[in-house]
Amino acid sequence: MKVPWWFPFGSVAEVSAVELNDRLRGRPAPQLVDVRTAAEFAQGRIRGAVNVPIGELRSRLDALKLDPARPVVAICLSGHRSVPAVRLLERGGFEAAQLAGGMLAWRGARLPEVKG
């Protein structure tokens, strides 16, 4: 049975925090879509991330003007909300993965965050 795009569990492609940090130094860097709430995003985010809460992603995906030639990494707090984001991005024709463990993993690896 195929899992619906919005189901927050299951298997999708992942990238570790350290691997994502390395990829962000490369060219072209992956595009970052942070699907947490605006309040969570303001508390700390990865530089270059665009915030679109998961509940709005489906209706706002086209407006993001993502480059289909570049991979997209979906980010949430712990790795649950980004699962449906990856499925939706894949349905839209993007190569997509989630940040494994979300921002909790990023912070656990002591990687740089932008606040505010």
Catalytic residues: 76
The secondary structure element, H or E, covering residue 18 is helix 17-24
d(CA 13, CA 74): 10
**Phi, psi (degrees; rounded to nearest 5) at 55:** -65, -15
